[in-house]
Amino acid sequence: MENFILYEEIGTGRKSVVYKGRRKGSINFVAIICSDKSKRHEITNHVRLTHDIKHENVVTFYEWYETSNHLWLVVELCTGGSLESVITQDECLSEDVVREFAIDLVKGLRYIHDAGIVFSDLTPSKILLDGPGTLKYSNFCLSKAEGENLEEFFALVTAEETGGGDGKENTSRRNIKNRIQVTAHPFWRGVFSEVHTSEEEEEEDVSFSSSVGRRGVCASSQSSAVTPVSVTSQGPGGGYRGVQGGATGAEEPVCMHPNKSFRLDNMTELRPKSALDKDTRESIFLLSSCPTPRMSCTARDPPNRTPLPQDSVVASGLNDISYCIKDLVYTDSDLAVTPIMDNPKILKTAPVRYDPKTLCVRAYSVEKLSCLSSEDWRGFLQQLCSSLEAQADKTTAAVRSKLNLLCYLCTIAAHKDTATRLINSQLFPVLTQQLRLAPNWDVKFKVMRVLGLLASHCIELREETPVTEAVVMFTELIRENFRNSKLKQCLLPPLGELLYLIATQEEKKEHPGELWVVPAAAYTVLMRCLREGGEPPQLNTD
Ligand code: 3RJ
């Protein structure tokens, strides 16, 4: 099965994230674009226009996949970032670099035009640099086939997707002439030379030298010695041939794919592959479990970190190597644990306030709760459970009363002693059940928060505490509501806290991994959430 390993994020676009990736089993690194499906028409457009293009100044398309929420494109990796960032960083580029960039841009655009494509909306952010500094056109989402109306193409994609299309040709054509105009200005030092002007099309064609050196080579020292070579000798199947669409003349530059059509009826096979392997249900895109090393370390320069027990052996050569290996395997952030619940860096939540006057139980403070007699504590718990379980009454007043109680629980759940007592009490399964039974989502959101706070502040979990059931409930709810980003943002933190609680409690035991079962589905759904992301968290104003 083909798998891709995802490494770090290298860029973000509108509703898309770009990762560095690698096909498992190969050493070819690629860029993997994970795009929201709402961009399907633009992505499909990009694919239909680029899947046949192989040119050094165009980012190569390899393949594409589809998962439930995203489209995934595997394309050429350009490690140099965008031309926009180079311009921003350097502010002023040297004339030699400008000349070299211009050659790449003209070569690429010329190839694109000859392929019958109008790039459209050309900006430096859409031009990428590979390692040696070659410029490449990267984003054809808003490009179009010459003469076509892009809106109509988008409409056809939508119709295809919804099954409403008739597959007919896009008939409305506008003749767009988006052509390269390069003058014979001395600045170009003969790199470009005008060879042809078509009277019929009133466009100017350029040829240029292809033998100018790559970045770092002074163009001016070479350009005077080079003879301009025609760009059309470079593309696959390229060359000057008879003209499509009526124009004549043996030297007329024409579409290099004269028989090629970008119409939708040619696209029935142009569909993303499903990214779930049918037999193994395994995902094609896997997150790299090893963080990308941030810097290399030498044996003479061991990393600055807290020593581990096994490090106390003599500082032998082997030990130096083990330092290096550990530094490559772990990063500081692997060992740092950040609370998830109510962490303002993750999600800003308004402080919860309850109204003690209308509270359906006595509004004990945490201090008072810690010294309640066991009888009073039992009575208090009983009241909490029966108030939450009262199902019959779904009036506004009853819902408000439940919300008030849950706000009170949020307050007392943020203290370790109360959290520990409450999570190990009969209240915990009642709260878990409320994730399904509560009268509305407002109440459910609050129940999630109480559960998350209990998990994050609890310091001792009893063996019989039904955390597995809670993990299963959260897992099911995330699965059922996978497309609902807001809901997922409320479900994930308590699930994370529960898993962390289980992990830390297991760690304290003699035989870790035996007490509280975490179903494989919980890991699967969590990994899927991490992989596929979602909308950024919004400020919660409750
Ligand atoms: C493919 C489409 C990107 C970015 C460009 C969304 C970078 C910063 C440093 C180093 C590399 C990159 C980089 N490299 C890429 N190689 N291949 C791609 C994505 C081509 N990309 C970006 N940002 C994009 N072009 C189109 N959408 C993009 C992000 N930053």
CA torsion 428-429-431-436 (nearest 10°) is 160
Task: Specify whether the CB–CB gap between 227 and 191 falls below 8 A.
Answer: no
Task: Specify whether the CB–CB gap between 472 and 514 falls below 8 A.
Answer: no
* Alpha carbons 518 and 472: distance in angstroms, whole number: 8
Task: Specify whether the CB–CB gap between 129 and 101 falls below 8 A.
Answer: no
Dump pLDDT digits (tens) for 67-122: 878 899 999 999 999 999 999 999 899 999 999 999 999 999 999 999 999 999 89
* Alpha carbons 57 and 105: distance in angstroms, whole number: 7
d(CA 260, ligand 1 centre) in Å: 28
Please tell me the predicted confidence (pLDDT) of residue 153. Answer: 86
Which tokens sit at 479? 């699965």
d(CA 119, ligand 1 centre) in Å: 17
* Alpha carbons 487 and 36: distance in angstroms, whole number: 18
Please tell me the predicted confidence (pLDDT) of residue 233. Answer: 29
Please tell me the predicted confidence (pLDDT) of residue 268. Answer: 59
d(CA 15, ligand 1 centre) in Å: 14
* Alpha carbons 261 and 47: distance in angstroms, whole number: 13
Please tell me the predicted confidence (pLDDT) of residue 102. Answer: 93
* Alpha carbons 461 and 254: distance in angstroms, whole number: 74
**Burial category of 452 from C-beta neighbours within 10 Å (exposed 0-12, middle 13-18, buried 19 and up):** buried
The set of protein residues with a Cβ atom below 6 angstroms from ligand 1 is 10-11, 13, 18, 31, 33, 59, 75-79, 81-82, 128, 138-139
d(CA 75, ligand 1 centre) in Å: 10
Take atom 27 of ligand 1 and give the residue whose Cα is closest: 13
Output DSSP code: residue 308: P
Nearest CA among 350, 443, 453, 454 for reference residue 404: 443
Q: Which atom of ligand 1 is nearest to the CA of 33?
A: 19
Residue type, 358: T
d(CA 36, ligand 1 centre) in Å: 16
> How many residues are present in the chain?
542
**Number of helices and strands (H, E) in the chain?**
16, 13
Which tokens sit at 351? 């402080």
Count the neighbouring beta carbons within 10 Å of the beta carbon of residue 314.
6
* Alpha carbons 298 and 320: distance in angstroms, whole number: 8
* Alpha carbons 162 and 506: distance in angstroms, whole number: 49
Take atom 17 of ligand 1 and give the residue whose Cα is closest: 77
Please tell me the predicted confidence (pLDDT) of residue 90. Answer: 93
Active site residue 121: yes
* Alpha carbons 117 and 140: distance in angstroms, whole number: 9
- For the chain, give the percent of residues with pLDDT over 90: 45
Q: Which of 121, 265, 277, 332 is catalytic?
A: 121
Please tell me the predicted confidence (pLDDT) of residue 217. Answer: 30
Phi-psi region of 120 (alpha: psi -120 to 50; beta: other; left: phi over 0): left
Provide the strand spans (E) within 151-261: 192-198, 203-208
Task: Specify whether the CB–CB gap between 58 and 122 falls below 8 A.
Answer: no
Cα 323 → chain centroid: 32
Q: Which atom of ligand 1 is nearest to the CA of 59?
A: 20
Spans of the chain below 70 pLDDT: 1-2, 162-177, 179-183, 193-261, 263-269, 275-283, 287-323, 326-327, 330-335, 391-393, 533-542
Output DSSP code: residue 82: B
Which tokens sit at 471? 């993990």
* Alpha carbons 363 and 494: distance in angstroms, whole number: 25
Nearest CA among 508, 523, 396 for reference residue 459: 508
Which pairing describes strands 4-13 and 285-287: parallel, antiparallel, or unpaired? parallel
Residue type, 208: F
> Which residue, chain included where needed, has tokens 């609050």?
446
Ligand 1: residue of 7, 8, 10 to mutate (most ligand atoms within 8 A of CB) is 10
Please tell me the predicted confidence (pLDDT) of residue 87. Answer: 95
Please tell me the predicted confidence (pLDDT) of residue 64. Answer: 93
Q: Which atom of ligand 1 is nearest to the CA of 80?
A: 10
Take atom 22 of ligand 1 and give the residue whose Cα is closest: 11
Buried b / exposed e over 315-353, threshold 16 CB at 10 Å, is eeeebbebbbebbbeebeeeeeeeebbbeeebbebeebe
Q: Which atom of ligand 1 is nearest to the CA of 31?
A: 17
Which tokens sit at 474? 């959260």
d(CA 516, ligand 1 centre) in Å: 43
* Alpha carbons 24 and 288: distance in angstroms, whole number: 11
Take atom 10 of ligand 1 and give the residue whose Cα is closest: 81
CA angle in degrees (0–180, nearest 5) for 21-290-138: 20
Nearest CA among 328, 322, 297, 294 for reference residue 308: 322
Count the neighbouring beta carbons within 10 Å of the beta carbon of residue 470.
25
Ligand 1: residue of 28, 57, 128 to mutate (most ligand atoms within 8 A of CB) is 128
Ligand 1: residue of 78, 79, 140 to mutate (most ligand atoms within 8 A of CB) is 78
Cα 434 to Cα 391, 427, 460, 497, 542: the distances in Å are: 10, 10, 23, 18, 19
Nearest CA among 181, 175, 173, 171 for reference residue 200: 175
DSSP readout, 379-418?
HHHHHHHHHHH--S--SHHHHHHHHHHHHHHHHHHTSHHH
Which pairing describes strands 16-23 and 144-145: parallel, antiparallel, or unpaired? unpaired
